[in-house]
């Protein structure tokens, strides 16, 4: 079983559309994240949720809205997509306690045309 799974793997859409990326983890972790990797491979955290509560919210346009229905899921909804949103989005999870590693999903390649 995949530990952290994201869907879809690829997402191609037009500017102005609204889209969602789903993430689920079956590791029993209580913290989940969204990271964005740009075309230069730079990885930057966007959001982090702990037990369904938002704990990290980096400087991200409010067109991006994470939703955590339970601690095993953290979905990312993006409104009014722009060309600059094209990137690979990674979901990750970890167990709170500090000395734990992050488990990453395999990424969602978003292309905005």
- Cβ 31 vs Cβ 96: under 8 Å: yes
CB of 39 to another protein, least distance (A): 12
Nearest to 74 by CA among 9, 5, 15: 5
Of 25, 31, 68, 75, which one interacts with another protein (CB under 8 A)?
31
For strand 87-94 and strand 73-78, is the pairing parallel, antiparallel, or unpaired? unpaired
Six token digits for residue 72:
């095993």
Alpha-carbon gap, residue 33 to 23, rounded angstroms: 10
CB of 80 to another protein, least distance (A): 27
For residue 8, say if its preceding peptide bond is cis, omega within 30 degrees of 0. Answer: yes
CB of 3 to another protein, least distance (A): 10
Judged by CB under 8 A, the chain residues 70 through 99 that form the site for another protein are 90, 92, 94, 96, 98-99
Q: Is 40 helix (H, G, I), strand (E, B) or coil?
A: coil
Of the ranges 16-24, 41-49, 69-77, 78-86, which one interacts with another protein (CB under 8 A)? 41-49
Of the ranges 14-22, 59-67, 69-77, 102-110, which one interacts with another protein (CB under 8 A)? 102-110
Based on the shown chain and the rule CB under 8 A, indicate whether residue 54 belongs to the binding site for another protein.
Answer: no
Alpha-carbon gap, residue 8 to 33, rounded angstroms: 17
Based on the shown chain and the rule CB under 8 A, indicate whether residue 59 belongs to the binding site for another protein.
Answer: no
Of 15, 27, 43, 113, which one interacts with another protein (CB under 8 A)?
43
């Amino acid at each position: 079983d995949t530990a952290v799974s994201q869907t879809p793997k690829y997402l191609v859409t037009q500017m102005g559309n609204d889209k969602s990326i789903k993430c689920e983890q079956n590791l029993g972790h209580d913290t989940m994240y969204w990271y964005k990797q740009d075309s230069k491979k730079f990885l930057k955290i966007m959001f982090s949720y702990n037990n369904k509560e938002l704990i990290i919210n980096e400087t991200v346009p409010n067109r991006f809205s994470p939703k955590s229905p339970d601690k095993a899921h953290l979905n990312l909804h993006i409104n009014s997509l722009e060309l600059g949103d094209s990137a690979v989005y990674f979901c990750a999870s970890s167990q709170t306690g500090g000395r734990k590693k992050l488990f990453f999903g395999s990424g969602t390649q978003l292309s905005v045309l």
